[in-house]
Amino acid sequence: MSKPLVLVTRQIPDAGLDLLRGQCHVALWEEDSVVPRDWVLEHIREASGVLCLLTDTIDRGVLDAAPSLKVVSTMAVGFDNIAVNECSKRGIPVGHTPGVLTETTADFSFALLMAAARRIVDGARYVKEGHWKTWSPTLFLGQDMSGATLGIVGFGRIGQAVARRAKGFGMRVLACRSTTQAPTQGEAHDDVEFVDFPTVLTESDFVSLHVPLTQETHHLIGKSELARMKNSAILVNTSRGSVIDSQALALALAVGDITYAALDVTDPEPVPLEHPLFHEPHCLIVPHIASASFATRGKMSVMAAENLLAGLHGKRLPFVVNPEVYA
């Protein structure tokens, strides 16, 4: 039997690619750049599977061009770039990589929080630019973790992992699972206080976002939410850029509605040089690397490959986004 053709839209860690190469013909976009849509449309015609990244749009047009497609597998936990409903209509399962990146991403959320609260990146830049002349009692004063209140918006796997870290730092933890509903009366989870979304915003010293991007969470943090937050608040985002209205955030930082933002994700991504956030001194931006440890990216590539192979063999994907295709 001839090997199936699969598309892989970027060089991924070898562990995952080797798994695929053992069983498939791999059409690989070899450049470290977002795969051009035309390349996808051309190669997907004959393909049985596609392993994509969060930078690739898998929409109706792509699916229409892929009559033989049996499976879509993304090397990410988030899948807002994929038209999942369209896949379901066509009976195509979609795989993703939850779980393996939870602790790595939670570590990074905390690293961003601490970098902002203790001005680590600002301090490092100051030294490298040659400004450090003497110890100073007032240089780069920041905020303490211990005793502070951390608000967690979205209490899934990563939100819970962030809460565990916060407890180790002696913080009070507030959380909301849903941004539209009040918490269930008396709900408790290892010392986490469940409150509604507005209360998380008003009472927290630091707010960390851990919701998936959906229609409901698009621009969840806008002008009025930023105005609700403490003027001293720090906002951390490792979820998706468009959960925040980035123009509103730039304005809030400029007028002092909040004090700092630490962002792994932006809208758009990458953040354009002319974007007002780019020039905000109290906005720390890193290039969407929260899950980027050697070990975790290796595991993600294997999971994505295993999801793809399962789909090619007509088996249930180990981590499927749309289980309704099996109903």
Residues that bind ligand GLV (CB under 6 A): 54, 76-78, 101, 291
179 vs 238, beta carbon nearer ligand GLV: 238
148 vs 244, beta carbon nearer ligand GLV: 244
For residues 112 and 264, is the Cβ–Cβ distance under 8 A? yes
Instruction: Give the pair of three-digit tokens for residue 268.
Output: 């758009």
**In angstroms, rounded to a whole number, what is the distance separating the alpha carbons of residues 65 and 225?**
42
107 vs 122, beta carbon nearer ligand GLV: 107
For residues 12 and 301, is the Cβ–Cβ distance under 8 A? yes
35 vs 321, beta carbon nearer ligand GLV: 321
**In angstroms, rounded to a whole number, what is the distance separating the alpha carbons of residues 104 and 101?**
5
In the complex, minimum distance from the CB of residue 145 to ligand GLV, in angstroms, rounded to a whole number: 24
| Of 190, 187, 197, nearest in space to 172 by CA | 190
Q: Is the torsion defined by CA of 325, 9, 7, 300 positive or negative?
A: negative
Q: Which residues are catalytically annotated?
A: 240, 269, 288
Q: What is the number of other CB atoms lying within 10 angstroms of the CB of residue 41?
A: 14
Instruction: Give the pair of three-digit tokens for residue 232.
Output: 């001293």
**In angstroms, rounded to a whole number, what is the distance separating the alpha carbons of residues 193 and 204?**
12
Q: Is the torsion defined by CA of 274, 276, 281, 287 positive or negative?
A: negative
For residues 165 and 110, is the Cβ–Cβ distance under 8 A? yes
In the complex, minimum distance from the CB of residue 167 to ligand GLV, in angstroms, rounded to a whole number: 25
In the complex, minimum distance from the CB of residue 86 to ligand GLV, in angstroms, rounded to a whole number: 20
For residues 27 and 44, is the Cβ–Cβ distance under 8 A? no
Beta strands in the chain (DSSP E): 5-8, 25-28, 49-52, 71-74, 94-95, 149-153, 172-176, 188-189, 192-194, 206-209, 234-237, 260-263, 283-285
End-to-end Cα, the chain, rounded Å: 29
135 vs 294, beta carbon nearer ligand GLV: 294
| Of 53, 56, 90, 50, nearest in space to 72 by CA | 50
In the complex, minimum distance from the CB of residue 142 to ligand GLV, in angstroms, rounded to a whole number: 27
82 vs 166, beta carbon nearer ligand GLV: 82
In the complex, minimum distance from the CB of residue 269 to ligand GLV, in angstroms, rounded to a whole number: 10
In the complex, minimum distance from the CB of residue 5 to ligand GLV, in angstroms, rounded to a whole number: 25
